[in-house]
Amino acid sequence: MKEAEAFKAKLAQSHIAVIGCGGLGCGTLMSLALLGVGTLTLIDDDLVEEDNLQRQLLYDLNAVGKYKCDIAKAQLQARNTTIEIRTFRERLTSKNSEQLLQEVDLVLDCTDNYAARLVIDAFCSKHQIPMIYTGVKASEGHISVFNYKGGKSMEETFINDQNIFQAEDCNDSRVMPQIVAMASSFQVNEVIKILQEASNVLQGKLQVFNLSKNVFRVFDLR
């Protein structure tokens, strides 16, 4: 019981940034809000589109044309009024990352953009803040952690393999809601393990699942 209370208190003191409020971001944000994370920073400059509603569960038809981060904030606060939520209607860049990511403990990559990931990775590497990467394509999802406890950055890990990220696109019509939901669940699971300082955090490892093939594997990264 004491361990559960201690973890609850740690969650309430945590400040987590979520970059991207699309399909991955929606599922991840919902879970973090329900868990009781103290502060959330949401960064996304996109508007809600009707074609994406099947994967973006925080939005409905009334939200179409409005900023994702604004609607997400309202939906999350309707479920948990104790969370402090900071929103930025802009794209994360190397020029604004220091300002937008002040005082964060973890940064969650919910983008499908390699350039954005490099910005996140550079900031996290500089400040030694864990970055939880999640990506989806077709029926497959990838999850990993970088810059955790002195571990390698994403750029250092994939310096010769950037092409593996190019095919990821959550807006691809082949990406079904259940793929996005599972990837979000794995991402939040890494948040929990990091906050608990577990020994099996995915730093230096890549978790891959493919639901169409019923495959779940973890690979060691060099």
Report the pLDDT value the prediction gives residue 222, as an integer from 0 to 100: 81
Run means of pLDDT, 10 residues per run, the chain, 222 residues: 85 97 96 97 97 94 98 97 97 96 97 91 97 93 96 88 54 75 97 95 97 94 87
2-220 domain in CATH 3.40.50.720?
A: yes
Report the pLDDT value the prediction gives residue 173, as an integer from 0 to 100: 45
C-alpha of 180 from chain center: 11
Report the pLDDT value the prediction gives residue 2, as an integer from 0 to 100: 82
Contact criterion met (CB below 8 Å) for 18 and 29: yes
How far is Cα 216 from Cα 150, in angstroms, rounded to an integer? 27
Report the pLDDT value the prediction gives residue 27, as an integer from 0 to 100: 96
Q: Going by C-beta distance under 8 Å and a sequence separation of 6 or more, which residues neighbour residue 162?
A: 114
How far is Cα 138 from Cα 141, in angstroms, rounded to an integer? 8
Contact criterion met (CB below 8 Å) for 91 and 45: yes
How far is Cα 180 from Cα 219, in angstroms, rounded to an integer? 20
